[in-house]
Structure 1
Amino acid sequence: MKAIQMVKAQAEPELREVDKPSPGPGQVLLKVTAAGACHSDDFVLNAPPGALGFDLPMTLGHEGAGVVAEVGSGVDSVTEGTSVVVYGPWGCGVCRFCSQGLENYCSKAEELKIYPPGLGAPGAMAEYMIVDDPRHLVPIGDLDPVSTVSLTDAGLTPYHAIKASLPKLVGGSTAVVIGSGGLGHVAIQMLRHLSPAQVIALDVTQNKLDFAKSVGAHEAVLSDSDAVDNVRKIVGKDGVTAVFDFVGYQPTIDIAMGVVGTLGDVTIVGLGDGSATAKVGYWAQPHEVSVRSPYWGARTELLEVIDLAHNGVVDVALETFSLDDGVEAYRRLAANNLRGRAVVVP
C-alpha cells in the first residue's frame, strides 16, 4: 500500500510503498478515508536526528478517519464497516489520568514508549492504519470524514484549551485568539458558540484578519508591536478575560501577557519556543492571572467535539490532496500558505 513517511530527520517526507498491516489481538485495522496534516508534523519533521526517540521510517498522520476493515482477536466492541475518527494521544489506559479519559496526560506513556499515531506509531497518511485499541475510535455516523478528520486535533485541542476558561467567559468578558490558522479559526467558532464573550483575533496579515472575522471574530487586530495598545483600546483598563495563543513564540506570549487582565487566563497552545516565565511574578502581571500550557484533549472531549460537529457548530476550512500529492500538502504546510487545514484523501 502507499504511505507518506518520515524517512529521515530534517527532510521532507516521502511517498513510499509499504506492506499492508494486519491487526493483532485487541487491534483494529482501518481503511483510511481521510488524514490531516498539521504543524505538529512539521515540528516532528524538523526535529534534530534522534531527538524524538522513535524509529524511522514512520508513517505520518495523527489526524485520522476511516472505516473499520478488520478487527483482531478479542475485539467485539466495534464492527466492520463503521465510520470512525481516531483519538490520537494514546496512553496506557490504566494510570490515574487514563482512567479519567485524559490519555493525553498518561503518566506511563514515556516509560512504556507509547506514541500517538503519526507521532511515533504508524499514522493515517496511508491506505490503511492500525489502531492499538478500539477505545481510541469514535464513531461519526453520517458525518463526512474529510470535513471531520481535522477535529481530532484542530477541534479537540482548542476545545480542551477553551473549556477550562468557560466559567470566566460570561457576559461582558473578552477572549483573544492569537493566530487564526488551522486551530485558531476553529477556536473562534467554538468561543462564539460556547460563550457570550467578545472575541478578538490577532494575526500578522490583513488577509488572515479578514478570515478570522469571516468565521466569527468580533474584532481583528494586527499582531505587531502595537498589538497590546490596540487590544487595550478595545477592552479598556480591565484587560482581557482569556487569551488563547495558538502560536507560542516569544512575541505572541508577550502580547498575551500584556493584554490579560486581573483574574484572567493565558493559555499557550502553540508549539513555539517562547516562555511566559519572565512575565510571571507578583509585580509582573495583574493579580491572579493563570498561565497554562495544555496538550491535545481527553477522549470524552473528542466525543463532545463530534457532537458539536453533528450540530453544525464548526466548519473547518480545508484544502484536500490525494495521497499521491500528499507530500505537496506538507510543502504547503511548511511554507505556511494553507487556508485552514490540509486533508489527504487516499
Structure 2
Amino acid sequence: MKAARLYEYDPHMNVDLKIEDVPPPTINSPDEVVVKVGAAGLCRTDLHIIEGVWKDIMDVEGSLLPYIMGHENAGWVEDVGSNVTSVKPGDAVICHPHRSCGICLNCRYGHDMYCDHGLFPGLGLDGGFAEYFLTNESSLIKLNTNIAPLDVAPMADAGITAYRAAKKAAQILYPGAYVVVLGVGGLGHIAIQCLKNLCGARVVAVDREPGAQALAKDLGADIVLDGGSDLIEEVMDVTGGGAHVVIDFVGELGVENICWKLLRQGGELIVVGYGGKIEVPTVDLVVNEIKIGGSLVGDHIELVELMELNADGLVKMHQTEYSLANINTAIDDFKNRRFTGRGVIVP
C-alpha cells in the first residue's frame, strides 16, 4: 500500500514525508481492526511532531522512526479480529485517536484519553496517512447512515478537542455572557458551532486571516475581530469589561500571553493550542481571581456526542482536500495558512 512516512525531526520543518510502498497492516490481536482509510485530517500536532516537539516525550532517541503519521482517521472496516463484534467489514467508522485498553481504572471511569496503556497512532506508531490503518475495536464509532468518512475524519481529533473545550465553557457560561475564541482554524471553527448549540453565550471570534473571519461570521459568531495590536482594548470594549471565558486554540506566537488579559474578573482561560509559554504575575491571578487550565482531546463518549451533532447538521467540518501524493503540499499550505478550516488527506 501507499503510505507517507516521517524519517526525521526538524525544528525548521525542512523535511518532507516520503511516499512509499509498504506492506498493509494485518490483524495481530483478536481485538484489532484494519480500516481502509477514507480520509485523514491534517492537524497542527502533525506540524509539531515533524518539528520534534513531541520527541522528548514519545521518542527521545528517534528510535521509532520511520513511521506513518496521521491520527484523525475515518474509513471503512476492512478486516476484524476474532473477538470483534461491534463492527464488521464494510461498516463506515470514525476512529478515536487514542487506542485505549478499556480495562484500566482511567478507562473504567470513562477517561480513555488517560488510559494507562494507551497508544497514539501517528506518533511513534503507524497512523492513517496511508491506504490502510490498524486500530482496535474500542476506538471505533460506526457512522450514521449517509455520513461519509471524508466529511468527518478531522472530527476524530480536531472536532472532539474543540467540542470538549466548548463543553467545558458551556458549563460555566450563562445567556448573555461572553466567550472569546482565539483562532478560527480547524478547531476554532468547530468550537464556534458547538458553543452556539450548547449555550446562550455571545461568541467573539478572533483571527487575523480574512478567510477565517468570513467563516466565523458564516458560522454564527456574534462578534468577529481581527486580532490586531489593540485586541485587549477591543475585547474589553465589546464585552463590557472582559470575557467570561477565553478558549485559546493558538497557544503560541505570543497569543498565549495575551489571552489571559482578555478575561474579566473571575473569568476562565481554557488552553488548547500549545507550543508557547504562559507567564502570569501571581498578583493578577489573585486580584482578578482568574483560572487557567488546559484541555486535552475529548473522550470516546464526547466523540459519540459530536457525531450526533454532525448527523443532525448542527456541526460541520469546513475542509480542503489533498491526495496522499500531495501531502507535503498540504503540510506547506497548512503551515502558511493557505486554507481555512481543516486540511484532509484522501488516499
CA RMSD of aligned residues (A): 1.8
* 1:195 shift after superposition: 1.1
Amino acid of the residue matched to residue 265 of structure 1?
Answer: E
Does residue 138 of structure 2 align to residue 135 of structure 1? yes
Gaps of 5+ in 1: none
Amino acid of the residue matched to residue 170 of structure 2?
Answer: L
* 1:286 shift after superposition: 5.3
Of 86-95 and 142-151, the range deviating more from structure 2: 86-95
Q: State how far apart, in whole Å, the 2-side matches of 1:283 and 1:268 are.
A: 17
Q: State how far apart, in whole Å, the 1-side matches of 2:224 and 2:42 are.
A: 26
* 1:206 shift after superposition: 3.4
Native 8 Å contact 1:172 1:197 kept in 2: yes
Amino acid of the residue matched to residue 143 of structure 2?
Answer: I
Residue 247 of structure 2: SS of its match in structure 1?
A: strand
Residue equivalent to 2:128: 124
* 1:263 shift after superposition: 2.6
Residue equivalent to 2:320: 319
Q: State how far apart, in whole Å, the 2-side matches of 1:285 and 1:236 are.
A: 21
Residue 204 of structure 2: SS of its match in structure 1?
A: strand
Native 8 Å contact 2:92 2:148 kept in 1: no
Cα distance, 1:330–1:206 mapped onto 2, change above 3 Å: closer
Identical-pair percentage: 32
* 1:147 shift after superposition: 1.2
Cα distance, 1:265–1:284 mapped onto 2, change above 3 Å: closer
Residue equivalent to 2:40: 35
Equivalent in 202, 205, 222 of residue 201 of structure 1: 205
Does residue 332 of structure 2 align to residue 331 of structure 1? yes
Q: Spell out the pairing of 1:46-195 with structure 2 (5 A cutoff).
A: 46-47=51-52, 50-51=55-56, 52-53=58-59, 55-106=64-115, 108-109=116-117, 114-131=118-135, 133-141=136-144, 142-195=146-199
Residue 330 of structure 1: SS of its match in structure 2?
A: helix
* 1:22 shift after superposition: 0.8
Q: State how far apart, in whole Å, the 2-side matches of 1:215 and 1:50 are.
A: 36
Residue 276 of structure 2: SS of its match in structure 1?
A: coil
Q: State how far apart, in whole Å, the 1-side matches of 2:218 and 2:86 are.
A: 41
Amino acid of the residue matched to residue 192 of structure 2?
Answer: I
Q: State how far apart, in whole Å, the 2-side matches of 1:86 and 1:257 are.
A: 34
Residue equivalent to 2:231: 227
Q: State how far apart, in whole Å, the 1-side matches of 2:143 and 2:111 are.
A: 21
Number of equivalenced pairs: 337
Gaps of 5+ in 2: none
Cα distance, 1:312–1:280 mapped onto 2, change above 3 Å: farther
* 1:325 shift after superposition: 1.8
CA-to-aligned-CA distance 1:76-114 (integer Å, 9 cap, x gap): 2321111100001233433332222222223x24xxxx4
Residue equivalent to 1:300: 301
* 1:284 shift after superposition: 4.0
Amino acid of the residue matched to residue 41 of structure 1?
Answer: D
Residue equivalent to 1:7: 7
Native 8 Å contact 1:89 1:104 kept in 2: yes
Residue 55 of structure 1: SS of its match in structure 2?
A: coil
Residue 122 of structure 1: SS of its match in structure 2?
A: coil
Q: State how far apart, in whole Å, the 2-side matches of 1:242 and 1:294 are.
A: 13
* 1:326 shift after superposition: 2.1
Q: State how far apart, in whole Å, the 1-side matches of 2:212 and 2:82 are.
A: 49
Cα distance, 1:211–1:128 mapped onto 2, change above 3 Å: same
Q: Spell out the pairing of 1:255-294 with structure 2 (5 A cutoff).
A: 255-275=258-278, 278-279=279-280, 281-284=282-285, 287-294=288-295
Native 8 Å contact 2:100 2:139 kept in 1: no
Of 28-37 and 85-94, the range deviating more from structure 2: 85-94
Amino acid of the residue matched to residue 305 of structure 1?
Answer: L
Q: State how far apart, in whole Å, the 2-side matches of 1:138 and 1:92 are.
A: 15
CA-to-aligned-CA distance 1:191-240 (integer Å, 9 cap, x gap): 11111111111112334322221222111112232100001110113x21
CA-to-aligned-CA distance 1:21-44 (integer Å, 9 cap, x gap): 111122111111111111110100
Residue equivalent to 2:252: 249
Residue 190 of structure 1: SS of its match in structure 2?
A: helix
Q: State how far apart, in whole Å, the 1-side matches of 2:65 and 2:182 are.
A: 34
Native 8 Å contact 1:31 1:66 kept in 2: yes
Q: TM-score, normalised by structure 2?
A: 0.92
